[in-house]
DNA sequence: TATATTATGTTATAACATAACAATTAGCAA
DNA sequence: TTGCTAATTGTTATGTTATAACATAATATA
């Protein structure tokens, strides 16, 4: 039984070899930890889990380097507003990897990676670029409360 | 000659007394440093400038507490993507203080505090809330290159 | 196989932020 | 005014996030 994580890992591996990137054993393990995580993890969280899960050491320095690699390969995103990392939720699908928008629940800390409509993003971009400013990234991080947590509250 | 900074400080002072907040001497000095700064400053930048400008000590701990106060009073914003602080650009005007959107130039590090159109924000909010997620903040931080830096590049 | 490049290990330290408790100051009621 | 309370600031220690600098190991390829 091949689950979603394994499929993502395979896809990541094949995509990397296609583009000449080296998804080494340790990099792959870091990705696996992020794929298995229910929430975004800090770099030091990853170090801890790495040791636990694989009984193998990983220095913080190495973790940061591996995260940098995985981000360049578009396999991992960084949440700049919380200094945490998460696997791209579109590794296993055929989607084009556009810049992500994240909805971050400030109560349960889960994150939903969404794709806002092209139209809306275009308007946003247009509105901003009318000021003379050229966007380099359209990654958005929006904080709030997710549906599940709201449901819990109103019980 | 009363300049914009003094006007802002007076306005901040009167707004605080009106709402029962205490804009103490040190808090006021921290605000002044941010008003005078051309760029957003880190907490430790503020500590350094405080010592230089006022020949008075300020611990990092105190700086963080004063920044917290100033943020609660809506006089200062924090850029979560760069861990820096800046004075609200609407202190001296009569505007309602709505949640800000920032355009951050990754080259010269200047920041422009803009107000996107109500309509666009409404669409954005609507599009997000259709997923069941309720936004708690609509502060946006958008990275790119400002007009001045682009002009310099194309010379 | 030699060698150049890339990846990882290791140590130290910079940069950002908060906890915990003490001392001081301001606000206010008796 | 005095004494009480709450808010502010001081102080020290420590936690958290991130990078610099240089050494060693693994890999690619000429």
**Ordered domains of chain B (ranges, CATH):** 1-91 (1.10.10.10), 98-155 (3.30.1490.190)
Q: 């924000």: which residue's tokens? A: B121
Least confident of A97-106, B4-13, B22-31: A97-106
Residue A106, pLDDT > 70, answer yes
A146 contacts B133? CB cut-off 8 A: yes
Q: Which two tokens stand for residue B23?
A: 């804009």
Q: Greater confidence, B79 or B93?
A: B79
Mean pLDDT of A23-40: 97
A18-22, B48-52, B98-102: segment of lowest average pLDDT: B98-102
CB contact under 8 Å between B133 and A145, yes or no, is yes
Question: What confidence tens digit (pLDDT) does each residue in A57-81 have?
Answer: 999 999 999 999 999 999 999 999 9
The first and second tokens of residue B10, run together, are: 């007076």
pLDDT score of A100 more than 90: no
Strands (E), A37-87: 76-79, 84-87
What is the pLDDT, as a whole number, of residue B97? 63
Residue A113 near residue A126 (C-beta atoms within 8 A):
no
CA-to-C1' span, B17 to D11 (A) = 30
pLDDT in tens, B104-133: 999 899 999 988 888 999 999 999 999 999
DSSP class of residue B140? E
Residue A96 has pLDDT above 70, yes or no: no
CB pairs under 8 A between A and B: 92
In whole angstroms, D10 C1' to A23 CA is: 51
**What's the whole-number mean pLDDT along residues A45-61?**
96
A128 near B CB under 8 A: yes
Q: Region B7-18: what's the mean pLDDT?
A: 94
């Amino acid at each position: 039984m091949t689950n979603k994580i394994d499929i993502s890992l395979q896809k990541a591996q094949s995509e990397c070899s296609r583009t000449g990137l080296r998804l080494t054993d340790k990099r792959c393990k870091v990705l696996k930890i992020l794929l298995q995580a229910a929430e975004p993890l800090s770099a030091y969280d990853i170090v801890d889990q790495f040791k636990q899960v694989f009984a193998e050491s990983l220095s913080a320095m190495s973790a940061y380097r591996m995260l940098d690699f995985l981000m360049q390969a578009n396999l991992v995103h960084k949440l700049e507003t919380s200094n945490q990392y998460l696997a791209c939720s579109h590794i296993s699908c055929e989607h084009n990897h556009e810049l992500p928008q994240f909805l971050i629940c400030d109560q349960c800390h889960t994150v939903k990676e969404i794709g806002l409509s092209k139209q809306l993003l275009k308007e946003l971009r247009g509105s901003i670029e009318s000021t003379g400013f050229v966007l380099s990234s359209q990654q958005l991080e929006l904080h709030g409360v997710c549906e599940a947590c709201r449901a819990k509250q109103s019980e």
